[in-house]
Amino acid sequence: MTYLETAANFYSEVAQTPEIGLCCVQSTPLQLPGLKIPSKMQEMNYGCGTTVHPTELINQPTVLYVGVGGGLEALQFAYFSRHPSAIIAIDPVYEMRKAAKNNLKIAAQENPWFNTSFVDIREGDAFNLPVADASVDIVAQNCLFNIFEPEDLTRALKEAYRVLKPGGRLQMSDPISTRPIPIHLQQDQHLRAMCLSGAITYNEYIQRIINVGFGQVEIRARRPYRLLNSQTYKLSGHLLLESLDSVSFKVPIPNDGACIFTGKTAIYAGSDTYFDDGDGHILQPGIPLSVCDKTAAKFSKNISKNMIITDSTWYYDGGGCC
């Protein structure tokens, strides 16, 4: 059996018998005024963060949701896009599609604003998205791409890039690993399906996103996710997994490299009335300016005396660009 078949079998099982707490971190799912999440849907919250960023969902965006799970985030996206097929949610696992459809029917009974026609559930997988090139505003996936082996991850990222409109956004939440996961765990298909052993490091994850052409990436959250205990998992030391929420923009990669925003700021500490780097950054003394990691690195290297660079907060939603 391939690891993808093992994953499909696993998700067929947890579609029929929900496994509470399978992937989610201990927090209630995003609550919104007038949104009631059915309890069965909540039990099937198999996401490790959130891909729904409420302040940016204006103008009823079209969303392609990859790996529907119990339908929780499809419902949350539909809150912002209330028209037929606004959310196209795909999943290769029949039982998962069936569970999501049932949960969304219950959601329609509990939420007067919601109509099941808003979410169009289709058979499909991350490597063959059933929509045309450049046709959706957002592609979202939560806790799925980490299951994929690296080359398959790249295939899935390329496919997301293909279907996004120019300027469109790939909104993801995935576990990442604080150091490379040893091969014996990577090869454990069941742990991989459970989102425990397929994670790659932050640097590799971001690099793979850039490699398929995304010119800007913004980190929205980075938090502890799970600890792989050294005894249980036969490791030389405990291994911490984190969960990373990110938004990647389908914009051209600048000549000097992609812009990755992790919440750093630059603060000019000199005595001139302002500092102009001649590259679009004008800083007033003492006032922090959000900068991407590339600009932060340039500033630290060249003009560190009068420039303070603050640490990554792992939260940025400024929509800025260098």
- Chosen residue from 121, 143, 247, 283 binding ligand SAM by CB under 6 A: 143
Least separation in angstroms between residue 201's CB and ligand SAM is: 20
Contact flag: residue 225 with ligand SAM (CB under 6 A): no
> CA-CA distance, 263 to 248, in Å (whole number)?
15
Please give the C-alpha separations between residue 88 and each of 20, 61, 66, 83, 151, in angstroms, as whole numbers.
25, 11, 8, 11, 25
- Return the DSSP state at 74: H
Pick the stretch among 7-15, 179-187, 206-214, 264-272 that binds ligand SAM (CB under 6 A): 7-15
> CA-CA distance, 209 to 258, in Å (whole number)?
10
First to last CA, the chain: 46
Least separation in angstroms between residue 198's CB and ligand SAM is: 11
Size of the residue set binding ligand SAM (CB under 6 A): 25
Pick the stretch among 56-64, 90-98, 223-231, 306-314 that binds ligand SAM (CB under 6 A): 90-98
Distance from chain centroid for Cα 193: 17
Tokens read off for 72:
């929780």
- Chosen residue from 3, 29, 46, 159 binding ligand SAM by CB under 6 A: 46
Contact flag: residue 159 with ligand SAM (CB under 6 A): no
- Chosen residue from 38, 45, 80, 295 binding ligand SAM by CB under 6 A: 45
How do strand 164-177 and strand 136-142 relate by DSSP bridges? parallel
Contact flag: residue 210 with ligand SAM (CB under 6 A): no
Least separation in angstroms between residue 101's CB and ligand SAM is: 13
**Of the two residues 16 and 304, which places its CB atom closer to ligand SAM in the complex?**
16
One-letter-per-residue 3-state SS of 170-225: EEEEEEEECCCCCHHHHCCHHHHHCCCCCCCEHHHHHHHHHHCCCCEEEEEEEEEE
Contact flag: residue 259 with ligand SAM (CB under 6 A): no
Q: Which residues lie near ligand SAM (CB under 6 A)?
A: 4, 7-8, 11, 23, 45-47, 66-70, 72-73, 91-93, 96, 125-126, 142-144, 195
